Chains A and B, each alone.
Chain A
């Protein structure tokens, strides 16, 4: 009976997996190539172009090449990725994500440029479509994936530069430090408050303190041969009171701040930029 249940459970897992969405790939660099569309050198060159631009200007362009986004349409997949990667600087939202799904069926589309909120004026839907049609599609038709992507990136760099001439890149790329502090802060405050209550409470009841005191008093009053019959309770209590008056706070009970865990994700990360669903899709 148990075996049958176990197999049903296994079956449900398999069935569940069959319908699963493509997981968001980890953000390991400006160019993530899961579809092997670029050679090592091409990958490096493209990464370098985008990296230089991000350092110089602050705006972050990312490229993701996957095999497929089924069962989702490319728009649904790319907004999920954009929400996790968070390209672009927080508050400025100047990130752009190019997604290519090499083996998608026509109905789900194979190209998408996802534009961050802050760049929707610099790269309008029409302009994103134009970049796709003018730079990506002709090159991809000839299987020149690298040329298509680098021309598209340069095109977007030009558009962003035109619009964002005034904004400096001094705005720091906030990795995950902020979230670490936020998590810690709330835990810390909570624990300090709880610790203060604990202090008051334990002082009033002094249970842990009492245990310590009791041990202390017992040690003082221990006489060899003491047992339940000849144990003098009133003497014990008097010594206890004397010791308590002298020791003051006794024990500190729970106390504060073991801190929280916060978000410790380090390493490469987007700047916290937001996406609103703007951009354009296409196919070649």
Chain B
């Protein structure tokens, strides 16, 4: 009698997969979302050399700000981003930190550029500004989508009974972008020097 019940339960578990298939889908979704995030950060990094050159053409003596951006970019792009970063919380937060530093350096550069009307009138600089804004928006969208995807996965990994499947197949909770970082990035300083455009 008990054997029949056990066989039944086992069959049902196998057939419903106890979330196993869901894990596969969501794991792949996370990798795709993460790839997108890395892609957009790289896109931003690619814009920076042009930007630095254009600003240097008008504001060469703002050496500190310019070199800060160049160094931050070098640090951010030097880090190897593999899908393994998702399994390593330390590497993940390092990645966040470096991109955050690049964001701060960039905002300082854009704030400084406000003081140079010739630079602001330059066509190339305006184009780069538009491209940078577009890229920052893409980064924001990619991050939001990654956060949503990771949230769904983590809920699955922590809820009963799928957490048993998770333990069985070692699906750990994946890292997500932390709230402090979200705040820091969403508050891009809008510096107004009160100068007429």
Is B133 in the interface zone, CB < 8 Å from A?
Answer: yes
Is A47 in the interface zone, CB < 8 Å from B?
Answer: no
State in angstroms the CA–CA spacing of A280 and B132 once bound together: 10
State in angstroms the CA–CA spacing of A76 and B15 once bound together: 41
State in angstroms the CA–CA spacing of A193 and B137 once bound together: 46
Is B74 in the interface zone, CB < 8 Å from A?
Answer: no
Partner of A197, one of B12, B142, B190: B12
Q: How many residues of B contact A (CB 8 A)?
A: 20
Partner of B4, one of A75, A204, A275, A280: A204
CB of B134 within 8 A of CB of A125, answer yes
State in angstroms the CA–CA spacing of A125 and B133 once bound together: 9
B187 CB to nearest A CB, Å: 12
Partner of B11, one of A197, A204, A275, A277: A197
Is A67 in the interface zone, CB < 8 Å from B?
Answer: no
B130-144 vs A, CB cutoff 8 Å, 1 = contact: the mask equals 110111011111100
Residue from A275, A276, A280 whose CB has the most chain B CB atoms within 10 Å: A276
A162-184 vs B, CB cutoff 8 Å, 1 = contact: the mask equals 00000000000000000000000
Partner of B137, one of A126, A129, A201, A277: A277
Q: Which 8 A-B pairs rank lowest in CB-CB distance, beginning with the nearest? A: A277-B141, A125-B134, A277-B138, A129-B130, A277-B137, A193-B15, A75-B137, A125-B131
Chain A contacts of B141 at CB under 8 A? Answer: 79, 275-277
Is B8 in the interface zone, CB < 8 Å from A?
Answer: yes
Chain B contacts of A281 at CB under 8 A? Answer: 133
State in angstroms the CA–CA spacing of A137 and B144 once bound together: 30
Instruction: Sample 11 A-B pairs with CB under 8 A, ordered by A number.
Output: A125-B130, A126-B130, A129-B130, A197-B12, A201-B8, A276-B138, A277-B137, A277-B140, A277-B141, A279-B137, A280-B134
- CB within 8 Å of B: which residues of A? 75-76, 79, 107, 125-126, 129, 190, 193, 197, 201, 204, 275-281
CB of B131 within 8 A of CB of A197, answer no
CB of A107 within 8 A of CB of B190, answer yes
Partner of A190, one of B16, B140, B142: B16
Q: A125-B130, A197-B12, A281-B133 are in contact. List 17 more A-B contacts (CB 8 A).
A: A75-B137, A125-B135, A193-B15, A197-B8, A197-B15, A201-B8, A275-B141, A276-B36, A276-B141, A277-B137, A277-B138, A278-B134, A278-B138, A279-B134, A280-B130, A280-B133, A280-B134
State in angstroms the CA–CA spacing of A197 and B7 once bound together: 11
CB of B142 within 8 A of CB of A276, answer yes
Which residue of chain A has its CB nearest to the CB of B132?
A: A125
A152 CB to nearest B CB, Å: 16
Chain B contacts of A277 at CB under 8 A? Answer: 134, 137-142
Is B152 in the interface zone, CB < 8 Å from A?
Answer: no
Which chain B residues (145-197) contact chain A, with CB distance < 8 Å?
Answer: 190
B7 CB to nearest A CB, Å: 10
Chain A contacts of B133 at CB under 8 A? Answer: 125, 280-281
Main SS of the interface on chain A? helix
State in angstroms the CA–CA spacing of A279 and B138 once bound together: 9
B153 CB to nearest A CB, Å: 19
Is B122 in the interface zone, CB < 8 Å from A?
Answer: no
Chain A contacts of B127 at CB under 8 A? Answer: 126
Chain B contacts of A275 at CB under 8 A? Answer: 141
Chain A contacts of B142 at CB under 8 A? Answer: 276-277
State in angstroms the CA–CA spacing of A204 and B8 once bound together: 12
B103-127 vs A, CB cutoff 8 Å, 1 = contact: the mask equals 0000000000000000000000001
Question: Given A277-B138, A277-B142: A126 and B131 within 8 A (CB)?
Answer: yes
Chain A contacts of B135 at CB under 8 A? Answer: 125
State in angstroms the CA–CA spacing of A204 and B138 once bound together: 59
Chain A contacts of B139 at CB under 8 A? Answer: 277
State in angstroms the CA–CA spacing of A132 and B139 once bound together: 22
State in angstroms the CA–CA spacing of A125 and B135 once bound together: 9
Chain B contacts of A79 at CB under 8 A? Answer: 141
Chain A contacts of B36 at CB under 8 A? Answer: 276
Chain A contacts of B140 at CB under 8 A? Answer: 75-76, 277
Chain A contacts of B8 at CB under 8 A? Answer: 197, 201
State in angstroms the CA–CA spacing of A169 and B15 once bound together: 41
Chain A contacts of B15 at CB under 8 A? Answer: 193, 197
B179 CB to nearest A CB, Å: 17
B1-38 vs A, CB cutoff 8 Å, 1 = contact: the mask equals 00010001001100110000000000000000000100
